[in-house]
Structure 1
């Protein structure tokens, strides 16, 4: 027989299983949301936080990759940079984009002198399909946007070949 139901001081009181402490509801909600976001971003490069070992303020250029029938075009947003600050290396199966962003702002006035400086290097590796014509690759830099055009090889432009099926 449950003696608890006869005790008025316990009527309506929340029950907590033995060995578990009560957790405030908003704290439990926050823990659950943190777990959900950690699970979602794990194993991707979409994390809102920098990769381990990288500072939170590190510069990571945004990339757009578009594949057409004849070529692959990569756009990299590099605001405040010049082409001399960027290096491209085209390997057999990847494009390596690296560089260093430097910023310095000096302001002098009556009774004050401020200098703001920021420096940061970046290194991005973009995997490419094997059907790229390495000898015809081109890169242009204009208004802070690097455009890399990678033509496909002629045999790669063919979408496939129909194979006739013969009866046995």
Structure 2
């Protein structure tokens, strides 16, 4: 059950040890998502689609939007709590790190089921322009993390008229 409230997530500036994904790693990740781990076993009947699985340590999908005055980064983080997300900015790199912790227990008469899922994720993206990290804002709403980064004055788009 998703809450429909906005939660602020702190953004910190620091040295990031993560690196940005190369285009080939991103393509490999997409290939893995498309075919899944069971593509070598085509006759296995109990298959589930990756979209049906809960977010458990996978690399989050990220959109980077370059606007005139700001850069907006949106990431899919279903089931992740704001306390479990860390956002760092190092130069032109933005890193999202976090952890997923899920425990589920069900007990009905003689039936007892317990599931635990833990996993960590990290995703680093390169920002398209210089940003003012001191004015960065981040919110987590319904599993979507949105980081708004205002551009510094010198990197904003300008139109120059020809005389």
Q: Same fold (TM over 0.5)?
A: yes
Asked if the contact 1:133–1:150 (Cα under 8 Å) also holds between the matched residues in 2, the reply is yes
Instruction: Kindly tell me the number of residue pairs found equivalent between the two proteins.
Output: 118
Structure showing greater Rg:
1
Per-residue CA deviation, residues 129-151 of structure 1 (Å, 9 max, x unaligned), is 45211221111111111110011
Instruction: Name the structure 2 match of 1:115.
Output: 114
Q: TM-score, normalised by structure 1?
A: 0.62
Tell me, what secondary structure is at the counterpart of 1:59?
A: coil
Shift of 1:111: 1.0
Q: TM-score, normalised by structure 2?
A: 0.64
Instruction: Name the structure 2 match of 1:147.
Output: 146
Tell me, what secondary structure is at the counterpart of 2:134?
A: helix
Map of 1:11-160 to 2, 5 A cutoff? Answer: 43-47=24-28, 48-49=31-32, 58-159=57-158
Separation in structure 2 between the aligned mates of residue 160 and residue 94 of structure 1, nearest angstrom: 27
More helix by share: 1
Runs (4+) off by over 3 Å: 158-164
* RMSD over aligned Cα atoms: 2.4
Asked if the contact 1:75–1:145 (Cα under 8 Å) also holds between the matched residues in 2, the reply is yes
More strand by share: 2
